[in-house]
Structure 1
Amino acid sequence: MPLPEGPLPSFDELPSFRNFPGCAWDVWGKDDELGTINLLTKDVVKEAAKEIKLGKTICLNWPINYPKKPLFNRQPPNIQMWRKGEGEGIAVHDDAIHINTQSGSQWDGLRHFGLLEHRIFYNNTPADFFETGSLVKDYPDKVDKDFIKYGIHNWAQHGICGRGVLLDLVRYFTASGDPLPYDPWTTHGIPASVLEDCAKKQGVTFKQGDILLIRIGFMQRYLSSTQEERDSLADKEETMAGIDQGDESKRFLWNNHFAAVASDQPAIERWPPPYPHHLHQTLLALWGMPIGEFFDLEALANACAEAGRYTFFFTSWPLNILGGVASPPNAAVSRAMFIAAALLKFRAGLPVRSQGYGSVKCM
């Protein structure tokens, strides 16, 4: 749908739904199924494409094979390959994939999380509206629109493409040689003031429709742990660092008008949240904002630090599952020309200088 005329309302200008402030249903309209993806207009995507200079790409998806023991009691991936026939002259394979769409790298869709105490999903849709069970019914042109309403296919068919911004909290906290002041695997809330200061120190100015990526440190901790430590995550109550659930965090996320938000941890918000203040409720049920979890941001963080540039063109195409709850993101970024400029100066014997986070900037 077209964006409303004039500036979007601030968080404090949004109406409340019962005891929940910041309801954006009226912003997008009663028939909307895109939520904040509406912000990714043709003009926004076209402007974001200017971030592509060098043409190098970085994958943000963890292999779908992992983790072997998912968190939140989700089913582990099952991937099987077999030979098509036996005997001489047979060189053909098939494979089959059976996954929980939220076991690894993922987008949470609008069917995933509602307002728990009210049993209401996006756009005031009661939980009983949704049929559960098999989503395979008929050919796409014959599917009942209500049966697939608010499914992940809406974002898949639109695409989640635009300017991405990385907030690298790991480097923000450790640039001076200090250790990370929290364990990413323990409950710790990251306030909006830290996210804002990180952006300032990285030289980032947000634009409407940005796709926000936050490196909290979960993946770095995971990759440096033993398999026994990794498996233990699935055998205990989930605790992890993430965005604080207070209204200041909501103001930061809404007032900057991000199209989507993602991080390297499995829940994006501090976990467990102080009940009933799940940030998932506001982002998904009140705003329609995609939540990305378990993104692999390690290679991107290194590239951004090397370039001294934390913006890029981001592209993601969720699986086109009619009525789907969630999906692997199929996400990647394209790096800009800044690295090439620095390397050319270096090779020519011209001065370059470091500027925070171990980055390189041309003088």
Structure 2
Amino acid sequence: MSSDPGPVPRVSRQEFDALFAEVRTWGRWEPADRGAWNRVTPEHVRRAAALVRDGTAVPLGRPWDTRPGPDNPRPALHHMTDLGDVEPPEPSAHKDFLGADYHGKAVSHLDALSHIAYRGRLYGGRPARGAVGAGGARFGSVAALGPLVTKGVLLDLPAVLGTGWLEPGRAVRAADVLEAERALGTVIDEGCAVLLRTGRFRRRRELGPWDLDAASAGFHVDAVPLLAGRGVALLGADGDGDLRPSPVEGLHSPVHTLAIAAMGVPLLDNLDLEGLSTACAGAGRHTFMLVVAPLDVPGGTGSPVNPVAVL
């Protein structure tokens, strides 16, 4: 595997549509709005729990980011609503407000199946116009997912390459995924969650923020059939998983489109995987129990989250 693999292969819209049809799982599961999460059975959860050996818990969520920047054009909100107001006779109380337009590049969040439509249709072929409206999503809501617990696999590409990070625009291709499995001694299998570390937050700390919509490391679409064939149930990254600039003609977020709209795989975006990288290196393994507890928002297209990896 090279840190500079050369030009990124371009993909035509016709080729992308053929790929969409190849990985599509429409009609496979009920309830359909849980999509690929239906793969995860109680046995998968028990196996994930068996991966816990030393009890190290690593949070993966970013700090609540209220500072504007090139990667945070819509900052999260936090302000105080009560400063020591007395609730007779005691105690005094301090209260605050949180708010976020969380689908973006700053807030760690889970994308539900209602988040992405392709050619006007959500996962399963439902017309998006009838399924998502001003009141929220009537199909594919984050409330349908509930808590997510399964085996997690960290694809730590910078560790494999011996670099601090992948440069923005670096494509993670199918061959890179296979090499990472070999080098890290891990296996992606059915029902697991795959987390891709590109080193985004280490680069950000050392070089400063940048516009991830313009350039970010992420999966090339040619890696998706491999992940689909392994039966992944959840996909996450320290960016949003997509390579930018997009390699697909006329499509900004092709991996989002394939994962959510074709495969029914929820996504975790903007995870801080630096601590997990260190913990996995120290433990000598890159598998763990992953716990994700989204807010129960009826009609929500996703939720801010602070997932926890337990080694």
Instruction: Pick the TM interval, shorter chain.
Output: 0.7 to 0.9
> 1:161 is matched with which residue?
149
1:179–1:49 distance in 2 versus 1, CA, 3 Å = closer
* Paired amino acid for 1:317: A
Q: SS where residue 37 of structure 2 aligns?
A: helix
Do residues 283 (structure 1) and 273 (structure 2) align?
A: no
Contact in 1 for aligned 2:66/2:77 (Cα 8 Å): no
In 1, Cα distance between equivalents of 2:206 and 2:63: 17
Q: How does 1:207-226 map to 2 (within 5 A)?
A: 207-225=189-207
Structure 1 residue 276, shift from structure 2 partner: 4.0
How many angstroms apart in 1 are the aligned matches of 2:302 and 2:86?
38
Deviation at 1:105, TM superposition (A): 0.7
Alignment of 1:77-92 (within 5 A): 77-81=76-80, 82-85=82-85, 91-92=92-93
- Give the C-alpha shift of residue 150 in structure 1: 1.0
Q: Given that residues 37 and 260 in structure 1 are in contact (C-alpha distance below 8 angstroms), is that contact kept between their aligned partners in structure 2?
A: yes
> CA–CA distance in 1 between the matches of 2:91 and 2:54?
42
Give the superposition deviation at 1:72.
7.7
Q: Take 1:28 and 1:191, find their aligned partners in 2: how far apart are those partners?
A: 28
* Contact 2:44/2:150, CA 8 A, preserved across alignment: yes
Q: Which amino acid aligns with 1:149?
A: F
Q: How far did 1:89 drift? A: 5.8
Q: Please name the residue that 1:150 is paired with.
A: 140
Per-residue Cα deviation, 1:82-123 (whole angstroms, up to 9, x for no partner): 3252699662111111111224111111111111xx211111
Any conservation in 2 of the 1:72–1:238 contact (CA below 8 Å)? no
Q: CA deviation at 1:18?
A: 7.7
Q: Structure 1 55/127 Cα, relative in aligned 2: closer, same or farther at 3 Å? A: same
SS at match of 1:162: strand
* Offset, 1:46: 0.9
Take 1:269 and 1:251, find their aligned partners in 2: how far apart are those partners? 15
Query: Hey, what's the Cα distance between the residues in 2 that align with 1:18 and 1:310?
Result: 33
Provide, for residues 309-359 of structure 1, a one-character-per-residue CA deviation record: whole Å limited to 9, x for no partner: 111111001111111111122310111xxxxxxxxxxxxxxxxxxxxxxxx
Q: Of 178, 183, 187, which aligns to 1:205?
A: 187
SS of structure 2 residue aligned to 1:120? coil
2:211 alignment partner AA: L
Task: Tell me if the contact between 2:132 and 2:138 (Cα under 8 Å) persists in the aligned partners.
Answer: no
One-letter amino acid of the structure 1 residue matched with residue 75 of structure 2: P
User: Does the 8 A contact of 1:120 with 1:127 survive in 2?
Assistant: yes
Local SS of the residue matching 1:289: coil
Q: Which amino acid aligns with 1:108?
A: D
Q: Which runs of 5+ in 1 are unaligned?
A: 1-15, 136-146, 336-363
The verdict on how the C-alpha distance between 1:259 and 1:66 changes in structure 2, with shifts beyond 3 A counting, is farther
SS in 2 for 1:233: coil
SS of the aligned residue for 2:20 comes to: coil
Counterpart of 1:204 in 2: which secondary structure? Answer: coil
Distance 1:295 1:67 in 2: 18
Instruction: Give, in whole Å, the separation in 2 of the partners of 1:212 and 1:314.
Output: 10
The 5 A counterparts of 1:31-70 are 31-65=31-65, 68-69=68-69
Separation of aligned partners in 1, 2:226 and 2:267: 15
> Hey, what's the Cα distance between the residues in 2 that align with 1:51 and 1:17?
38
Q: Which stretches in structure 2 are left out of the alignment for 5+ residues?
A: 1-15
Match of 1:271 in 2: 244
Cα displacement (A) at 1:233: 2.7
The answer to whether 1:256 aligns with 2:246 is no
The 1:63–1:204 alpha-carbon spacing in structure 2 relative to 1, beyond 3 Å, is: same
d(CA) in 1 for partners of 2:86 and 2:45? 49
Task: Give the structure 1 partner of residue 6 of structure 2.
Answer: none
Partner of 1:20, secondary structure, is helix
Q: Secondary structure at the match of 1:83?
A: strand
Instruction: Name the structure 1 match of 2:29.
Output: 28
Q: Output the CA distance in 2 between the equivalents of 1:84 and 1:132.
A: 40
Q: Secondary structure at the match of 2:46?
A: helix
Report percent identity of matched pairs: 23
The 8 Å contact of residues 17 and 23 in structure 1, kept in 2 or not, is answered as no
2:299 to 306, 315, 323: 323
| 1:193 maps to 2:175 | yes
Correspondence list, 1:289-328, <5 A:
289-328=265-304
TM-score, structure 1 normalization? 0.73
